[in-house]
Structure 1
Amino acid sequence: MTGNKKHPAPVDTLAARTPRRANAHMMPTLLDRLRDDAPYRPIEAPEEYTVTRKQMRDIVQRDLAYLLNTTSIEDQLDRERYPQAAASTVNFGVPPLAGTFLASRQWNDIERMIRQAITDFEPRLIPDSLVVAPRHALDASDHHHVLAFEVRGMVHMDPYPLEFMVQSSLDLETSEIQITGMRAS
């Protein structure tokens, strides 16, 4: 009869010790985890390979800047015919926005292109929470070739999502997008 006795499942001691609270550390992106800031040390404490909510905001902001400043091949792809290629890394970035292409576009087109790129390539932002909205410059005379906008949304986090908002600007002559500021929540 003692042979049928079930043993309790082993408990992950690190998980059991880690509190589930708002400022608990989170795992960063794979690229950030592969960086070794202390190669001479064989063991790292959890605080050294995890990130806080503020650090996660910074990582998402950095990666969003990379995404929005990379030119995709969207204008050369038939998204309906080749949906896998359109959503693959071969199409990473936003379509070309400078020159004649942008002159024929309205804000709705630009917003759709930015939203599509973020939805396709930034899985940490919850798609249903994503808002890409124009911002009105206080002094429009200095920024007549710059389109100001903000990106808002919620970052997938545990135990609850993290609010995210960055203010950005698109230089209409160079097609460069700058992340100009981030509001902490």
Structure 2
Amino acid sequence: MTVAPKKDRLSPPLMLAFRAAYDARDARKPIELRDQYGERVIAGRRSTGRFPISETLLRREVSHDVETLLNTIALESTLDLTGYACVRTSILNYGFPDIANRSIDEVTDEELSDALRMSLTTYEPRLDRKSIRVRRDTTVDPEQLKLRFFVQSDLKCEPLNVPVEFVADVDLDSGDIQINRL
């Protein structure tokens, strides 16, 4: 007999534990708990396991991390990494190519689309690599100096993968990328 998975409870990413501890700002607060015999008791914050989270919270965490990834300038933007294939895909090159110092004519839609896909497949392991699709939204007025891309993927979760779709707005003046609706 199999038990049907609860669709509203997902396995959290490991980084959620670190972010929750940072948000609580309690890592340096001493905890001296003793039982009735004077023996030290392990504090709850150190002994709790990973707790299931809601789909909404998981989407918010991934959205935050994707926006951070895409607004971090990759090392390859400042150094020529030709001949250093391992460095190009390592954490040393984490981020997105710098487009702020390039003119609008130098940046093509295909180049940005490929760079988005490459950054997500390389540095966001929670997204299923095979499912990442990036397409340009052509309804945005070119006068706004902004490009919009729709990104679809599956978020790898236990017990089920969660389909996600978000919008990446690329500001061609500043190079900033804003993530909406994850």
TM-score after normalising by structure 2: 0.76
CA deviations on 1:75-102 (whole Å, 9 max, x unpaired) are 42435x2222111121111111123365
Kindly state the Cα deviation for residue 66 of structure 1 after the two structures are TM-superposed.
0.1
What one-letter code is carried by the residue in structure 1 that aligns with 2:153? G
Q: Secondary structure at the match of 1:103?
A: coil
* Distance in structure 1 (CA, Å) of the matches to 2:113 and 2:150: 10
Match of 2:60 among 58, 61, 68: 58
What one-letter code is carried by the residue in structure 1 that aligns with 2:44? I
Aligned to 1:78: 81
Aligned pair count reads 161
Aligned to 1:28: 13
* Distance in structure 2 (CA, Å) of the matches to 1:50 and 1:137: 39
Aligned to 1:12: none
Contact 2:113 2:149 in 1 (8 A): no
What one-letter code is carried by the residue in structure 1 that aligns with 2:108? Q
Contact 2:166 2:180 in 1 (8 A): yes
Q: Secondary structure at the match of 1:133?
A: strand
Aligned to 1:8: none
What one-letter code is carried by the residue in structure 2 that aligns with 1:99? N
Structure 2: 5+ residue stretches without partners: 32-42
* Distance in structure 2 (CA, Å) of the matches to 1:179 and 1:110: 15
Most deviating of 152-161 and 70-79: 70-79
Runs (4+) of structure 1 exceeding 6 A deviation are 45-48
* Distance in structure 1 (CA, Å) of the matches to 2:4 and 2:44: 22
Q: Aligned Cα RMSD in Å?
A: 2.7
Kindly state the Cα deviation for residue 49 of structure 1 after the two structures are TM-superposed.
4.1
Q: Secondary structure at the match of 1:100?
A: coil
Aligned to 1:6: none
Structure 1: 5+ residue stretches without partners: 1-17
Contact 1:147 1:169 in 2 (8 A): yes
- Could you say if the C-alpha distance between residues 82 and 28 of structure 1 is closer, same or farther in structure 2, counting changes exceeding 3 Å? same
TM-score after normalising by structure 1: 0.75
Contact 2:9 2:52 in 1 (8 A): no
